[in-house]
Amino acid sequence: MSNPYEVLGVRQNASEEEIKAAYRELVKKYHPDKYQNNPLADLAQEKLQEVNEAYDTLMKNGSGSYSNSYSSTAQSSYQNQTSPEYNDIRHIIDSGNLGYAEQKLAQVRNRDAEWFFLSGMISYKKGWYDDAVTKVRTAASMAPGNFEYQSALNNIMNSGRMYQNQSYGRGYANDDMMCKLCQAYICADCLCDCI
């Protein structure tokens, strides 16, 4: 097993507080919510597990008091009542064979809300977000009370927001004053940097 300190990115004699802080950061980074319906979900899960193990090891070696590592809830994504036909297609989507799922879906004649939803999920997994949003939106408006469609839509809309928050967290500033300051700084910098 790899060095737990390295996995958590802390130094060898880090305090319990530092370990916990690093752990919390990493859990946020690899959180399953961030990778829902994402082709990278398995790799994120793997990382999270590694982080959990490292944290458990350090906590046991340290105070030995408790272990409350984050466990990712393996949830089945589809709880809805659904026709056997759609159920099949859902399984194919889950297995990752998107081409085949697309083919099967094209054979379905009745284009109801679920059809648009599944078609949107295939697009999403392919990385076709513009298409995915349009279709899932259609599904949600055809079946306004459906929790699954609504939450999938929210999830898609959220992934960009998560990125934006992270970039603010790293010092991204977008207001005019900041820009002017940056420009002034860069201009000044160019003067002493050039040639």
Partner 1 sequence: MLGYVVPHKGELKIREYEIYRSYYCGICKSVGRRYGQLPRLVLSYDFAFLALLLAALEPESESLKREHCLVHPVQKKPVTEENHAIRYGGDVMLILAYYKLMDDYLDDNSYKARAAALGLEPTIRRIRKEKEGLCQLTETNLQALAQLEKANCPELDRVEEPFAQIMKAIFQQGALETGGTVDVANLEKRQKLLGHIGYHLGKWIYLMDAYEDIDENIAKKTYNPLLYRFDYDSDKESISSFRERIRDEVEFNLIHYLAELSNGLDLLDIKKNRGILENIAYLGLRRRTEQVLAGEKPSEPDSPSVHEEQ
User: Exposed (0-12), middle (13-18) or buried (19+): which is 163, by Cβ within 10 Å?
Assistant: exposed
Nearer to partner 1, 6 or 16 (CB): 6
Residues 6+ apart with CB under 8 A from 124: 37, 132, 136, 156
Nearer to partner 1, 35 or 55 (CB): 35
d(CA 79, CA 170): 38
Interface ranges with partner 1 (CB under 8 A): 29-30, 34-35, 38-40, 43-44, 47, 123, 126-131, 133, 156-157, 159-160, 162-164, 166-167, 170-172, 174, 182-183, 185-187, 189-190, 194-195
Sign of CA dihedral 96, 97, 102, 104: negative
Nearer to partner 1, 103 or 167 (CB): 167
Least distance to partner 1, CB of residue 185, Å: 6
Least distance to partner 1, CB of residue 178, Å: 9
d(CA 174, CA 195): 30
Residues 6+ apart with CB under 8 A from 87: 78
DSSP, collapsed to helix, strand or coil, labels residue 89 as helix
Least distance to partner 1, CB of residue 90, Å: 22
Nearer to partner 1, 80 or 155 (CB): 155
Place of tokens 């690899």: 30
- Residue type (1 letter), 18: E
